[in-house]
Structure 1
């Protein structure tokens, strides 16, 4: 079983640069429709070769604004992002020059945003000690005009990369900016994490810094969030907090509303947080107790955030002989404390951002419980995966839960990370079901069953 932190590490993955890569290059369709051997669900694999594919994290949008393409990461061109047409399966390279961290697909325009290091900046050689030292590095936020690129890719008259890619602005190296990027709902600002030293400058005097929490020795602060205007390059500071920040995301329907987490690699003392872009309104999103293991929050509608309240550990972290459990599943180490057991309510929770009420939408009868979660903007559906890589759909009106697909291999390079489509008719996952090595993943679409879509309430 992979470590619980794997998905966090993946979201900060640094893509290398391939100087021979050509933006707009097309790749033939690999589309396959496969019947799930357990549930009978017809799965559409938009990619089917072992080329190191992975979807964007479920906190972020996956589909282009015209609904025709999905953006994903792949080694088809090392270090570059790809788009795949959902109907034809044709693929197009949509970046050139590499990227770092999170890909941001705009919902209201045919644009893509990402960060990358400024070329030839930040590496110094200490010859005397014969070691490499890394100085603070400036980061660029880059915009890709997908409309122009995808149109020109159908011809043999592609232009140079800078015709499609525009540098929005560059951060000061002192900021220690990272690749945890989130595009605001108004698509004017992009928020990003800054380093400890820079964040400390904006922390209120006397603030007590948090220490590392849990066996992975993560979570210590401070950390901060800054923003860049993608039109002018203007940079503004949002907020500093006394703990490590992870998974910055925005509310696509409410400009200026930011959701982020206290990242420890597992259970946090207080996982979920929200703040406005002017630094006001900082508060816990869902106030958790030491008995609750909250993780993988994702904004799903104008007023709602889905969270996983894990039920994956044995009571008190002990087995039937009274011995502390270790290694059976992610997070079983006793050092995480008493959280994550089914002594308390667990499952896929929906938190209302306005009233702060939380409802449990559903939970598996046994096993890990629901882990990575998403939902439809219209409030009809919630969806989650579990440690077995099974994916469950929940009807939020009736509380009925349906196993959509399983058999995606616990040996896979990562978890399914289900994301509901904007129209609520399908779910995107990443899957190793077709891989010969039981690890390499592909991009897969799961339909919401037709009889469920026809339901009237």
Structure 2
């Protein structure tokens, strides 16, 4: 056998220990292999890296409400600020398998928030957006897509495929899931997209000048953007009817009370537009937080937290937008109700208060009111504090209420059973 040169032996003596050290540093310590737990250190995301499709271990923690005894599921519990989407938009993917939320757990250096999907099966979390400018985001009503605006581009995100690939640890580049389906003219700055019920177009508002805004529609097939309506106030909380194509609800946004809060715009088949106020207000009405409750009803709150507002009834109301029939669903003590959301068929309503109490209301019986949970705004007795706004959403199947909460951290998202006696432990 040929003798190995002395110089090569020396090289091997140097390299082999180095390779062993590298293995020990990354996976093996004192003879024990930790490679199967390689992702555990991502639990609190110390690095804050913006990585499209990355997965985070479950953070969920269940506890019993100390007042009601109801089991609450905190879906996020890390050090970061995690928030559900606004209650005007869908929270669950169309198949009900994931809840989508926003968080600052990545890209903290520049303040960007990303969107994430938490599994309803194992509560693991997946990052589904990347980069900056992700504010205009909307889940599909029926499809497995999501829609977002980046710059002037309207992008269709194949969320079903992304989530499936993430489960298999086989996520590609963002371009493999994102498709530009329309471009908004450079002269328009889109804000607050609403997705049409048929998922063939989006509506959005834009500020023209200080006291003037407009609503536009962009059609996916033609790519055309048209102005639907111009109004002499700031538009806020634009939302499309999830069940009926061509219908949009929006509000006169002031950051507080407004002369006439709720407005409804209908686009007819011939392209003509009808714009009208809903629930015409008196001077002493402070209306807020309007949402759809099925195809023909909206739900909203008339604030009662100030003495001057109590000349008329305050509390939660629903309105039939076809007939104009108004129904009263009650008021609670203290500062009164704040937000509301209902089951699609309109049988049950969820209302919350400034101090973080969450109630279930029977829509047909104002005496049938149940406290579900409390303590989600521990320090607050008014709306004007820094703690989380619950902004509750009822799941499409009517089983759950998704809320923001300051019970554990600055802001977490939690699931509360709407009917605790019927829910599984």
Query: Do residues 61 (structure 1) and 29 (structure 2) align?
Result: no
What is the distance in 2 between the residues matched to 1:157 and 1:52?
Answer: 28
1:41/1:404 contact within 8 Å kept? yes
> Which deviates further from its counterpart, 376-385 or 93-102?
93-102
> Which deviates further from its counterpart, 258-267 or 389-398?
389-398
Query: Do residues 85 (structure 1) and 85 (structure 2) align?
Result: no
Which one of the candidate residues 218, 222, 244 is aligned to 2:212?
222
Question: What SS does the aligned partner of 2:256 have?
Answer: coil
User: 1:449 corresponds to which residue?
Assistant: 419
User: 1:4 corresponds to which residue?
Assistant: none
User: 1:259 corresponds to which residue?
Assistant: 249
What is the distance in 2 between the residues matched to 1:102 and 1:34?
Answer: 34
Query: Do residues 300 (structure 1) and 293 (structure 2) align?
Result: yes
What is the distance in 2 between the residues matched to 1:281 and 1:225?
Answer: 12
User: 1:141 corresponds to which residue?
Assistant: 154
> Structure 1: any 5+ residue segments left out of the alignment?
1-17, 118-138, 198-219, 317-340
> Which deviates further from its counterpart, 417-426 or 394-403?
394-403
Question: CA shift at 1:231, angstroms?
Answer: 4.5
Question: What SS does the aligned partner of 1:362 have?
Answer: coil
User: 2:394 corresponds to which residue?
Assistant: 420
Q: How does 1:341-380 map to 2 (within 5 A)?
A: 341-364=309-332, 366-380=333-347
Q: How does 1:197-276 map to 2 (within 5 A)?
A: 221-276=211-266
User: 1:408 corresponds to which residue?
Assistant: 376
What is the distance in 2 between the residues matched to 1:360 and 1:60?
Answer: 24
Query: Do residues 309 (structure 1) and 302 (structure 2) align?
Result: yes
**Structure 1 ranges of 4+ moved more than 6 A:** none
Question: What SS does the aligned partner of 2:161 have?
Answer: helix
Residue deviations 1:195-233 (CA, integer Å, cap 9, x gap): 215xxxxxxxxxxxxxxxxxxxxxx62111111123443
What is the distance in 1 between the residues matched to 2:223 and 2:105?
Answer: 32
Question: CA shift at 1:267, angstroms?
Answer: 0.9
User: 1:430 corresponds to which residue?
Assistant: 404
1:149/1:164 contact within 8 Å kept? yes
User: 1:105 corresponds to which residue?
Assistant: 139
Residue deviations 1:61-109 (CA, integer Å, cap 9, x gap): 1000010100100112233110001221101011122334342111201
1:56/1:102 contact within 8 Å kept? no
Residue deviations 1:226-253 (CA, integer Å, cap 9, x gap): 1112344321221111111110001111
Closer, same or farther in 2 for the Cα pair 1:376/1:286, shift >3 Å? same
What is the distance in 1 between the residues matched to 2:227 and 2:75?
Answer: 40
Report the TM-score when normalising by structure 2.
Answer: 0.81
Question: What SS does the aligned partner of 1:372 have?
Answer: strand
User: 2:7 corresponds to which residue?
Assistant: none
What is the distance in 2 between the residues matched to 1:142 and 1:36?
Answer: 41
Instruction: State the superposition RMSD in angstroms.
Output: 1.9
> Which deviates further from its counterpart, 246-255 or 391-400?
391-400
Question: CA shift at 1:140, angstroms?
Answer: 2.1
Question: What SS does the aligned partner of 2:228 have?
Answer: strand
Q: Which has the higher contact order (CA 8 A, sep 6+)?
A: 1
Figure out how many residues of one structure are paired with residues of the other and give that number. Answer: 362
> Which deviates further from its counterpart, 96-105 or 248-257?
96-105
What is the distance in 1 between the residues matched to 2:334 and 2:137?
Answer: 32
Larger-gyration structure (1/2): 2
Question: What SS does the aligned partner of 1:282 have?
Answer: strand
User: 1:285 corresponds to which residue?
Assistant: 278
Residue deviations 1:112-148 (CA, integer Å, cap 9, x gap): 112222xxxxxxxxxxxxxxxxxxxxx2222211111
Residue deviations 1:362-391 (CA, integer Å, cap 9, x gap): 210x22211111111011111121111211
> Which deviates further from its counterpart, 405-414 or 188-197?
405-414
1:309/1:349 contact within 8 Å kept? yes
Question: CA shift at 1:31, angstroms?
Answer: 1.2
> Structure 2: any 5+ residue segments left out of the alignment?
1-46, 108-112
Report the TM-score when normalising by structure 1.
Answer: 0.76
User: 2:360 corresponds to which residue?
Assistant: 393
Query: Do residues 191 (structure 1) and 203 (structure 2) align?
Result: yes
